[in-house]
Structure formats: structure tokens, C-alpha cells
Amino acid sequence: VRYDAEAAIGAVTASATAAGAVAIGEDLGTVEPWLRDALAARGVLGTSVLWFERGWAGEPLAPQWWRRNCLATVSTHDMPPAAAFLTGQQVTERLALGLLARPEAEERAEAAKALDDWLRALVGEGLLPSRDPDPDAFTVALYGYLAKTPALMIGVSLAEAVGERRSQNMPGTTTEYPNWRLPLCGPGGEPVLLEDLPSIPLVRAVAGAVAGSA
């Protein structure tokens, strides 16, 4: 399927201008570099996800090198919450569903390497005192990392902000997993109501990190 890129981008930006809104492009994955340039030239923000932002040597991209014209997030709706990366639950969930494309040992080794890279970066930025944080401290530190970037906008996942460990959506599944049907819950599986959010310490800590006051 082919589209007239200029016409499509023009329609998006015109609609955003008319509505007084900001247009954000999900320029992730296999999109070609020219598309990012084309979106930026028309004032459409890109999407930068922390786990995918890497330097030339594969290291976590230092905050100062992130692009400015983007919505920066820790994860996406198709990824596990931050706490699951720290605990290894993101591998355990996929293993239980038969979604691993490699032996479990290889998956866990790669996940451990990625986690260690980010823990090292968080400590290096002064966001963690050591490389053995609890899940809440880890989540807050990741959002603190986003606040150090020049990104124009930061997106916060409510699932991460309340300490949820389960994925909201599991790509590659249909009936095997309750995609989009999990209620918002805390780390122990207890439901969280919207009116409860202001009183939850982790929510307040994440908000403080994003505001640069953590």
C-alpha cells in the first residue's frame, strides 16, 4: 500500500494546527530515515523510547544526545512496564506463552546485559546510588533520565507509575493473553482507581522526576 507522503503529512499538520494540537509521529522500528526528517521539517514530533535509544557502540544514549523534537517515553503499550525489566518478569511472561524465539538462557542473558547497561547509565547520571535498586526506585530513575534529555514532551505510563508488573498487550498473542483487558493494578495485583492516583507515593515520585524535582 502506498500513500502520497507529502499530502498525508500536510493533512495531519493542517488538522493539528486547526485544532491547536500537537502532532506526534510513531517513527519507530523500520521506518526510513527520510521519514523522520520529513516529519521534523513539518513540525511533527517523533517518538523516542528509552529502551531503543542507543549510541554507536550499543550503549544507552546519553541524555544530551537525544533529539529535541520528540515525545520521550520509557516504554510503549506493546512493552512490559519498567519494573518487569528489573525483575526479569518480561522474559518469564513470554516464556510461559511460548513466545521466545531463542533458548531461555540466551534471552535472559541479553535482558540482563541490557538491564546492566541502563543501571550503569542511571548511576552515572546520579539518578541511582547503586546498581541494585528496588522496582520503584528503578522506575523513578528512568523517568528522571528522560527529564535530563532535551525532549519537548515526556509521556508517562500509568501502569509504570503505579508499579504494575504485567504487560498491557503481548504482541504475538490473541486469546492466549488478556490483551487490553487488564485493570490498572499495583505491584501486588490490587486494583488502582483514578481517584487513588494522587495519594500513591510512586505516582508522586514519577511526577517529581519528570518535573525535574526528584
- Residue where the block lists cell 511526577: 207
Q: Compare 31 and 138 and report the one with higher pLDDT.
A: 138
- pLDDT tens per residue, range 38-74: 999 999 999 999 999 999 999 999 999 999 999 999 9
What is d(CA 76, CA 55) in angstroms, rounded to the nearest whole number?
20
pLDDT of residue 210: 97
Banded pLDDT at 119 (limits 50, 70, 90): very high
Using alpha carbons, list the distances in angstroms from residue 58 to 32, 69, 94, 113, 214: 20, 22, 24, 11, 28
Residues paired with 49 in a beta bridge: 73
Burial of residue 113 (number of CB atoms within 10 Å: 0-12, 13-18, 19+): exposed
Say what the pTM is.
Answer: 0.94
| Average pLDDT taken over every residue of the chain | 94
Distance of CA 212 to the CA centre of its chain: 18
For 33, other C-beta atoms within 10 Å of its C-beta total 8
Taking the CA atoms of the chain, what radius of gyration do you get in angstroms?
18
Whole-angstrom Cα distance, residue 153 to residue 156? 10
% of the chain exceeding 70 in pLDDT: 99
| 191 backbone dihedrals φ, ψ, rounded to 5° | -60, 145
Amino acid symbol at 86:
L
Q: Above 60 in pLDDT, residue 134? A: yes
Residue 97 has pLDDT above 70, yes or no: yes
When comparing pLDDT for 212 and 194, which is higher?
194
Mean pLDDT over 183-195 rounds to 93
Residue 126 binned pLDDT confidence (cut-offs 50, 70, 90): very high
What is the residue whose three cell numbers read 517529581? 208
Mean pLDDT of 78-89: 94
CB 44, CB 14: distance < 8 Å: no
Nearest-angstrom CA–CA distance, 46 and 53: 13
Q: What is the pLDDT of residue 213?
A: 56
pLDDT above 90 (res 135): yes
